[in-house]
Structure 1
Amino acid sequence: MEPVVPDVSAPTRISGSTRLYAVLGDPVEQVRAPSLLNPLFARLGIDAVLLPVHVEPVDFAGVFHGLTQTKNLDGILVTIPHKAAALRLADEVSPAAAAAGAVNALRREPDGRWRGENFDGIGFVRGLIEAGHLPAGKRIVLMGAGGAGSAIAAALLSAGAAQLTLCDPDVAKVHGLLARLEEHWPGRATGEAKPALDEADIVVNATPLGMRADDPHPFSLRALAPRCVVADVIMKPRETALLRSAAALGHPVLHGAHMLDHQLDLYRAFFRLDESARGCEPPHR
């Protein structure tokens, strides 16, 4: 009989001492964080589990406050569409999160306060660079100024993008993001209802369009210059209609999975998982 190999994709046991993490979103079926962090907990020998929590925007504040009162909850991840709301509810946030106007990770500090951080932007840029598409000196169009888009905008400018054009139907959201970006990178970001796609070196879809099979493309691929890079932040499906069409037209593409894959080490450090793996008892427990 062949030996039984334990499945490290999920905790082998949950007990009264198990530490909790939650990922909040609407929807949550597409989230990949549990499939990445739960195996990491298992590999590190940490008695913890990350669970998806489906919460609609109208209920987000109430659910968030309830979870933060849970004494064995150590961390919260936040996905669409709650990242901006999570920033407003955090006790303190990093400069990167403040510039983005959104957070996607929060941890409980030793004094009980909740600190927010945003890794979407740096995760996206690391994936872009690893794929050989350096943002430095490039003209980039970013579709979507929500939580993920805001973080990516800040990270692209920090990485040296020459010009960033933002496009979102929510004009107030664009203006707010531009004001935050202007404080750090004056004169390098603009907002346009109809961006000049034919002048872009890289175009990024940071909207929800593409999560459903019948979604329209967020922009016209026919308007792009040859060899313009087309990137998507959507995790599921991996091969969005936008990316399939772009690849068929000869454009280099970047899948949304890269953004999260490059955040795993950042989460590991942010949540101090190596300390837990060494048996260090966090002061707040």
Structure 2
Amino acid sequence: MEPEAPDLCAPTRISGSTRLFAVLGDPVGQVRAPSLLNPLLARLGHDAVLIPAHVEPDGFAAVFHGLTRLKNLDGLLVTIPHKATALELADEVSPAAAAAGAVNALRREPDGRWRGENFDGIGFVRGLVAVGHLPEGKRIVVMGAGGAGSAIGAALLAAGAARLTLCDPDTARLHGLLARLEEHWPGRAAGEVTPALGDADIVVNATPLGMRADDPRPFPLHALSPRCVVADVIMKPRETALLKAAAALGHPVLHGAHMLDHQLDLYRAFFRLDEAPAGRTATPRTGEGPAR
């Protein structure tokens, strides 16, 4: 029997007691979190909804402070390009987020403080492993040292990558990331503006290039060895121009959807969604700055 198609015209059940979550990004049309988390919230019996919010960089801090004063807001997800700023605005962050220098999820604690975490890296690694590409002992290049690239780089080193090369034209951002990684995994990460790709086992596009049809490729495929894995963190379109071209040349590829799909259980635990649904009250944050 064919599965029943969802009723797209069914009314959304939102009431005065509905709890709120939001995902903040610029752009935000590509985000898949609402389509994954809203069904999960419904299945678990939570009167809660996750909404997308398009926030430009110069307004992010104001929007963050405004949203976190909503007493029925329980959590935030953060996507491009706000992850580094979100870390600075959080009241406390996990060691993984601190190493990456970026946050992609924040939850309200019972005392009203906001705790930041980063699941991009572990989600990416789990997706990589799930399709049979183990990072342990591999030579890996990550293009982009922003929020996603930072988290992925840290997670790959934690998973045993033999050598990690990070590439970003923003040298200040690149050197800052390398300094953080050196504290945890000395001697295993290097930075280059233009990387040597010929001996890489895995190359990851962690830049926004590929979200638009007219974007240039983030790196030349002709420079790769034949069996090099090509991974992309972009989720929409699923088949980026980079992945299409890499697959046509015979390279194994990893789609961006894997990174989010393997974060769903992490979000479930982080936001304590397995606890019995109940109305909660919390004191809005009042602190002037981060205390990590």
**TM-score above 0.5, yes or no:** yes
* TM superposition shift of 1:194: 1.8
Q: Are the aligned partners of 1:10 and 1:42 in contact in 2 as well (CA < 8 Å)?
A: no
| Partner residue of 2:282 out of 265, 281, 284 | 284
Q: Which whole-Å CA distance do the structure 1 matches of 2:178 and 2:266 have between them?
A: 26
| Identical pairs, percent | 83
Q: Which whole-Å CA distance do the structure 2 matches of 1:62 and 1:106 have between them?
A: 16
Q: TM-score, structure 1 length as denominator?
A: 0.95
Q: Which whole-Å CA distance do the structure 2 matches of 1:103 and 1:45 have between them?
A: 27
Give 1:195's aligned residue. Answer: 195
The 5-angstrom pairing of residues 75-94 of structure 1 reads 75-94=75-94
Give 2:59's aligned residue. Answer: 59
The 5-angstrom pairing of residues 228-239 of structure 1 reads 228-239=228-239
Q: Which whole-Å CA distance do the structure 1 matches of 2:53 and 2:9 have between them?
A: 18
* TM superposition shift of 1:75: 0.2
Cα distance change of structure 1 residues 173 and 10 upon mapping to structure 2, 3 Å threshold: farther
Q: Which whole-Å CA distance do the structure 2 matches of 1:265 and 1:172 have between them?
A: 34
Q: Which whole-Å CA distance do the structure 1 matches of 2:11 and 2:157 have between them?
A: 39
Partner SS, residue 124 of structure 1: helix
User: Is 1:215 aligned to residue 215 of structure 2?
Assistant: yes
Give 1:152's aligned residue. Answer: 152
**Structure 1 stretches of at least 4 aligned residues deviating more than 4 Å after TM superposition:** 4-11, 280-283
* TM superposition shift of 1:12: 3.6
The 5-angstrom pairing of residues 236-251 of structure 1 reads 236-251=236-251
Gaps of 5+ in 2: 284-292
1:191-243 CA-to-partner distances (Å, cap 9, x unmatched) read 01221100100000000000000101000000000110000000000000000
Give 1:30's aligned residue. Answer: 30
Cα distance change of structure 1 residues 125 and 5 upon mapping to structure 2, 3 Å threshold: closer
Q: Which whole-Å CA distance do the structure 2 matches of 1:175 and 1:208 have between them?
A: 20
Q: Which whole-Å CA distance do the structure 2 matches of 1:174 and 1:251 have between them?
A: 28
Q: Are the aligned partners of 1:141 and 1:197 in contact in 2 as well (CA < 8 Å)?
A: yes
1:16-55 CA-to-partner distances (Å, cap 9, x unmatched) read 0000000000000000000000000111111000000001
User: Is 1:124 aligned to residue 124 of structure 2?
Assistant: yes
Q: Which whole-Å CA distance do the structure 2 matches of 1:268 and 1:9 have between them?
A: 27
Structure with bigger helix share is 1
Q: Which amino acid aligns with 1:141?
A: V
Cα distance change of structure 1 residues 260 and 88 upon mapping to structure 2, 3 Å threshold: same
Q: Which amino acid aligns with 1:132?
A: G
Cα distance change of structure 1 residues 146 and 8 upon mapping to structure 2, 3 Å threshold: same
Q: Which whole-Å CA distance do the structure 1 matches of 2:181 and 2:170 have between them?
A: 17
Gaps of 5+ in 1: none
